[in-house]
């Protein structure tokens, strides 16, 4: 049964739904008002990421019934994605204390890991390394960190959308090249759901994603990377390489702020991409640069690793080294 017809349907639904959400936000005055920590200067509607959530989650049962996504993966994605999106939606419309958000995030992570089977054995220099229960704990921390860093990195127009599209297209290409064509459908559907939203979010943005969308993308990309690791251990390294821009900027910034004694849960403007957008005076060059790094540097190395050309950890180090110089150059973690 072919369901490639679902791809344009998901993109079209996301496109139209984002437009409807924009009208709703304008009517209800659900606006992101610029402040001293903002990277934008014009009040802008928020919450458009809900369109991504609805478009992608509605398509998952169709994939499963078509035998293009395992039932366990579907339940993991559906439950965790819904939980994280609801927490983000409520936080977008009010405020949830950080400790309760974190508790909800870990609950979503453990739900998903229950269905996926936890962390599979890792591939390390040709050896298989099974971390047991410690691996499952580390996988939960990985998912929670990824969904939060995605929220942190969603700070300028289009950047979170472009990152998700590039990562998903790379993941889909890896499946196709390794003969797992049916598994490529889920990341492709997510890429198209984000593309429908990006029409409205491309610089200058007419609506923002909001925590519901950014957190959902973070946890979903994390789960897709773990699913890939169960298919072939080396694919986890490939997904980590594809996510390199966001992982390095957010992690480097967090560590510098922790060492300085900052309250890391407070909003700030000290990520490398935020410094870069102020230096260039606009968001578009930075968003396009992220796309260029993903497609021209990280994707080829991810394919190299995924096709067995080089060990995963070595490929990761090769991919990340130039990115470290970029986050240093653009002063990641330094106070704005």
Q: What is the pLDDT of residue 301?
A: 98
Decide: 332 and 257 in contact? Cβ < 8 Å: no
What residue segments make up the domains of the chain, in order of their start? 6-33+41-329
Q: What is the pLDDT of residue 49?
A: 96
Radius of gyration of the chain (CA): 19
Task: Please report the DSSP string for 73-141 in residue order.
Answer: HHHHHHHHHHHHHHHHHHHHHS---HHHHHHHHHHHHHHHHHHHTSPPPEEETTEEE--THHHHHHHHH
Q: Which residues of 9-38 are buried (b: 16+ CB within 10 A; e: fewer)?
A: bbbebbbebbbebbeebeeeebebeeeeee
Q: What is the pLDDT of residue 37?
A: 60
Decide: 41 and 203 in contact? Cβ < 8 Å: no
What pTM value is reported for the model?
A: 0.96
Tell me the average confidence (pLDDT) per consecutive run of 10 residues in the chain, 336 residues long.
84 98 91 71 89 98 94 98 96 85 97 96 86 93 96 95 98 94 94 98 95 97 97 95 98 92 80 95 96 98 96 96 96 84
Decide: 146 and 218 in contact? Cβ < 8 Å: yes
Decide: 221 and 213 in contact? Cβ < 8 Å: no
| C-alpha to C-alpha distance for 117 and 136, rounded to whole angstroms | 9
| C-alpha to C-alpha distance for 291 and 282, rounded to whole angstroms | 16
Q: What is the pLDDT of residue 18?
A: 98
Q: What is the pLDDT of residue 327?
A: 96
């Amino acid at each position: 049964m072919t369901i490639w017809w679902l791809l344009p349907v998901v993109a079209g639904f996301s496109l139209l739904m984002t437009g409807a959400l924009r009208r709703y936000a304008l009517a209800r005055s659900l606006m992101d008002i610029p402040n001293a920590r903002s990277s934008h200067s014009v009040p802008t509607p928020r919450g458009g990421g809900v369109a991504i959530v609805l478009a992608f989650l509605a398509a998952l049962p169709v994939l499963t019934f078509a035998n293009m996504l395992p039932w366990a993966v579907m339940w993991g994605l559906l439950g965790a994605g819904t939980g994280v999106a609801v927490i983000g939606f409520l936080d977008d419309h009010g405020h949830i204390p950080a400790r309760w958000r974190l508790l909800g995030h870990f609950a979503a992570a453990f739900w998903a890991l229950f269905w996926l089977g936890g962390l599979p054995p890792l591939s390390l220099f040709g050896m298989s390394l099974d971390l047991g229960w410690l691996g499952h704990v580390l996988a939960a921390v990985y998912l929670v960190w990824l969904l939060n860093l995605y929220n942190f990195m969603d700070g300028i127009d289009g950047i979170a959308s472009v990152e998700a599209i590039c990562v998903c297209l790379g993941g889909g290409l890896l499946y196709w090249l390794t003969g797992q064509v049916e598994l490529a459908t889920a990341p492709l559907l997510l890429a198209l759901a984000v593309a429908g939203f990006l029409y409205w979010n491309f610089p200058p943005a007419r609506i923002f994603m909001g925590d519901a969308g950014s957190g959902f993308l973070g946890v979903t990309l994390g789960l897709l990377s773990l699913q890939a690791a169960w298919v072939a251990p080396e694919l986890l390294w490939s997904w980590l390489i594809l996510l390199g821009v966001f992982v390095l900027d957010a992690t480097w910034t967090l560590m510098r702020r922790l060492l300085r004694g900052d309250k890391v849960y407070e909003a700030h403007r000290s990520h490398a991409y935020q410094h870069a957008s102020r230096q260039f005076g606009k968001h578009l060059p930075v968003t396009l640069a992220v796309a260029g790094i993903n497609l021209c540097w990280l994707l080829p190395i991810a394919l190299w690793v995924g096709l067995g050309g080089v060990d995963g950890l070595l490929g990761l180090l090769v991919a990340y080294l130039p990115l470290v110089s970029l986050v240093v150059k653009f002063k990641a973690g330094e106070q704005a």
